[in-house]
Amino acid sequence: MARKMRKDKPADVKMTDVDAKELFTSVDKVFEFASKDTGFAKHNAVKKRIVGQADIEKFTKDRLARADFSQRFTRSELTMKKFGLLPRDFNLREFLVKSNGQSIAGLYDEETKTISLLNTVSLEKQGPILAHELTHALQDQNYDLAQWGKAGTKPVVKGQHGDGDEVNDESTTARHAIVEGQAMVVYIDYLLAPYGRNLKDTPGVVASMEDTAVAASRRPSRECLRSLRGTRTKCLTRRHTWITRSWRRCKFRI
């Protein structure tokens, strides 16, 4: 998969200038939907822009290079390799940069207060993505995501390893999971809204998603990561891919 990503051509652009203008005119309506769905008040307008795959890769690369991310990233990568979830010579940093560029459909940057939507996603698919990212904007306007994400962390004594780092990682991961979980609820509610339904009165949607995830975790991926060790071939199954994706979303939510 990693080699394939390096060879893949940039995804086709599916958003025209006319599409972008139409999408931006719908922001207020979707913002209102997200506000009612979450119960969070709107305090400010949200900046928005259309970006390409290269922009997402650059954003990810820059974030991973920052000191506050780099230390946690290195520690987590080492842990995954020690448990055999990644081959020893696997470059996780390069993989995440390419993977994010190809898989992320939108992002909210709490530092610039800006929503970025991918020009590789067609207009008809942008609505629920916009609802998801606007939910992050509402979370930020009401609770300050940067501060809230660090609220459960404890000071780590320089040169001391172990409990402090582990507690902080777990706290940050849990808080980011809550942030992403709520945004996914709004995403699904937006999809169900035209049918007069929402996730609360349609719990079967979650069950079907869980069934799909469980089934996928039991099947080897067709595009697995192979690391040759003499006559041995290690294959990264979908279960491990799911772990990597979950780790990426929680540790480096963007």
User: Could you give the C-alpha distances from 185 to 119, 129, 194, 202, in angstroms and in order?
Assistant: 24, 12, 15, 12
- pLDDT score at 247: 41
- pLDDT score at 5: 39
Residue type, 64: L
Residues 6+ apart with CB under 8 A from 10: 52, 53, 54
Count of beta carbons in the 10 Å neighbourhood of residue 131:
23
Tens-place pLDDT, residues 84-130: 999 999 999 999 899 888 889 999 999 999 999 999 999 999 999 99
Q: Which of 202, 177, 182, 180 is nearest to 192 (CA)?
A: 202
**Structure token pair of residue 51:** 């970006």
Surface-to-core class of residue 58, CB atoms within 10 Å of its CB (0-12 exposed, 13-18 middle, 19+ buried):
middle
Q: Partners of 228 in the beta sheet? A: 233
Q: Which of 120, 121, 89 is nearest to 3 (CA)?
A: 89
Note down pLDDT in tens along the chain; length 254 residues: 334 434 455 678 889 999 999 999 999 999 999 999 999 999 999 999 999 999 999 999 998 888 777 877 888 899 999 999 999 999 999 998 998 888 899 999 999 999 999 999 999 999 999 999 999 999 999 999 988 887 777 666 555 555 445 556 677 888 889 999 999 999 999 999 999 999 999 988 877 776 655 554 444 443 333 332 333 333 333 333 433 444 444 444 44
Distance CA 239, CA 215 (A): 10
Tens-place pLDDT, residues 29-47: 999 999 999 999 999 999 9
Specify whether the CB–CB gap between 133 and 108 falls below 8 A: yes
Sheet of 114-118: strands edge to edge?
Answer: 47-51, 114-118, 106-109
Q: What's the number of CA atoms in the CB half-sphere (13 Å) around residue 247?
A: 20
- pLDDT score at 127: 96
